[in-house]
Every structure is written in structure tokens, then in C-alpha cells.
Amino acid sequence: MDFFNEQNITIFDHPLIQHKISLLRDKNTGTYEFRKLVEEIAMLEGFVALSDLPLEDVEVETPIEKCRTPMIAGRKLAVVPILRAGLGMVDGVLNLVPTAKVGHIGMYRDEETHEPVEYYCKLPSPTEERTIVVTDPMLATGGSAVDAVSQIKKYGGKSIKFMCIIAAPEGLERLHNAHPDIQIYVGHLDRELNDAAYICPGLGDAGDRIFGTK
Ligand code: PRP
Ligand code: URA
């Protein structure tokens, strides 16, 4: 599969995103800096991911005269992080759209099977009328992302975007094949998964590095 030719997959090559991802990878980057970098990358990715938000002209009075000028219209935005690590990207998107609602999907990977186990789901309604940006820094086997998007669709979600910072080819292909209708944004496409289903070279366990656990 040639990922670069898929219309609804964006793999970023912006130098600022690449630079910040390299800092994230460094095992010597501490919790505070890691958290800031995840938020900044989410904001840079979000700037592009939200470039198709619909606009409508509204009337505004400037100090000079009245004019009609564009503002974000129509569908309301929701950010839905996959807990825990996806939480680290939420403020990056909220910096861009502070009025967005926030839902949560709780999932962890079973250590043996690497399959996702869902433990929480709360989405802002009406889900079907919103553009939903799902955030998770890591797309590894793709199991968590596929299940999270399925869950959002079960609640009626129709316009869904998935934003991650690092993806493995296996996970990207699995997510795209399971949900070919969603837009996927990837900060960097890494080489492969190892036997423990960690992304190589990756950045380790994103949740632990964001929250300083382990
Ligand atoms: C990590 C990551 C993703 C998932 C990716 O979460 O944040 O949610 O693994 O792996 P997958 O593509 O193989 O499903 P984890 O299960 O470590 O939970 P945490 O965020 O609570 O640490
Ligand atoms: N989850 C992570 O946090 N890191 C990986 O490399 C894979 C899954």
C-alpha cells in the first residue's frame, strides 16, 4: 500500500513537526518538556487538520464601516482523546478552537494480546452533528484507534478525523482499511512494530512519558 497516495491520509513533513518529534524521541526529554511538545505538535497538526472547517459570512462593524466577513460555521467541533495519552494532545487543539467540546474514550492495551480493552466512553451530543477529532499520540497495531472510531460511529459520529504523532505502517494500514471514510493525520510514519508491539524507533510509552508514571 502506498500511504502517500491515499487522499485521506496526511503524513506531515513540516520541519517544525519533525524537529519536535525528534525531541520527543530522546529518552532524556523529561516529563514537562515532553508534555509541552505533545501539545505543540497537536496544535501544528490541528492547524492543517481543521483547514476544511466550513465558513459563513457574518456582519461585523469595524471602526470604519459594516462588512460581511467569514467565521467558522455549521458543524460544531469535538475533541475526543483516547485515554490516557491522547489527553496530552487536547490542549493543542483547544488552543485553536477554545469552544470545542471534549469527549473521552478510555482504553488500554492488554499486555499479552496487545488488543484494546475499553473502560470508558463519554461523547458530547449530538455526536452526529459534530466534526470529531480523535487524538492519540501513538498508532501502533491500530487496535485502539479502530475500536475508538467504531465506538464513535456507534454513537452516530459521521465526520471523524484521527490525529496521531507517530504511526507504525501496520497500524496506519489497519485503521485506514477498517475506516476508509475518516481523515488520518500522522506526524511521522515509523519503521515497524517490535515483538512487544512497540513502535520502532518510536518514543517509548507515550502515556507514561506524558504523565511521568513508571
Ligand atoms: C497506547 C497509546 C494508544 C495505544 C496504541 O496506550 O496511547 O492508545 O497504546 O496502541 P495500538 O495501536 O496497538 O492499540 P496504552 O494502552 O499504553 O494506554 P495509556 O495511554 O493509558 O498508557
Ligand atoms: N503505545 C505507546 O505508548 N508506544 C508504542 O510504541 C506503542 C503503543
182-191 pLDDT, tens digit per residue, is 999 999 999 9
CA distance linking residue 214 with residue 210, whole number of Å:
11
205 as an active site residue: the answer is yes
pLDDT confidence tier of residue 97, bands split at 50, 70 and 90:
very high
Residue at 56: amino acid letter: E
Residue 1 has pLDDT above 80, yes or no: no
Closest CA to 166 of 182, 147, 184: 184
Question: What 3-state DSSP class applies to 112?
Answer: coil
36-46 pLDDT, tens digit per residue, is 999 999 999 99
Closest CA to 41 of 176, 142, 158, 135: 135
In this prediction, residue 73 carries a pLDDT of 86
Instruction: Tell me which residue has its CA closest to atom 7 in ligand 2.
Output: 198
Answer yes or no: is the C-beta of 198 below 6 A from any ligand 2 atom.
Answer: yes
pTM of the model: 0.95
Answer yes or no: is the C-beta of 202 below 6 A from any ligand 2 atom.
Answer: yes
pLDDT confidence tier of residue 152, bands split at 50, 70 and 90:
very high
User: For ligand 1, which residues put their CB under 6 angstroms from it?
Assistant: 82-85, 107-109, 114, 116, 136-145, 171, 197, 205-207
CA 76–ligand 2 middle distance (angstroms): 31
